[in-house]
Amino acid sequence: MDHSLKTRILIVEDNLDDVDLLMRQLRKANLGEQVMTISDGRLALDFLMLPEASHLVALFLDLKLPSMSGVQLLEKIRAHDKIRNLPVIVMTSSNSSEDLQKCTELRVLNYVQKPVTLEAFNKAVASTFHLPDTAAP
């Protein structure tokens, strides 16, 4: 397999509209070619345990997922040597202070509130990949 084509960004999100918005922004930043989307927390964990996951540079994570919550997935990520330092950007409709505190404790890089705006996605993508903010038209 061509090393340059391996998955570099994982999106764990079950809302197709949010996936579409994020993919448009990743494409705009020339980061859309090496993205995998998984809509289930347990399936995401299974993927993260594979050798292919060692090529990831970022994970966009929803907190409300089928079969395993985003917080549970994040706890497992931070407890696993191979992927513990993976940069994670949380995208959530939760406004729970407990969720925010837990995400802070688990070293989340960015915490984006839903409904997600184009500007919020732009800022998260720009800061994660050290790109200029493309929110301006």
Give the mean pLDDT of 120-128: 74
Residue-level pLDDT at 93: 80
Tens-digit pLDDT profile for residues 13-38: 999 988 988 888 888 878 888 899 99
Q: What's the whole-model pTM score?
A: 0.84
Angle at 127 between CA 1 and CA 72, to 5 degrees: 70
Residue-level pLDDT at 129: 73
Omega before 115 within 30 of 0, i.e. cis: yes
| pLDDT-above-90 percentage for the chain | 47
In 7-55 the beta strands, taken as DSSP E runs, fall at: 9-12, 35-38
Q: How far is Cα 14 from Cα 94, in angstroms, rounded to an integer? A: 15
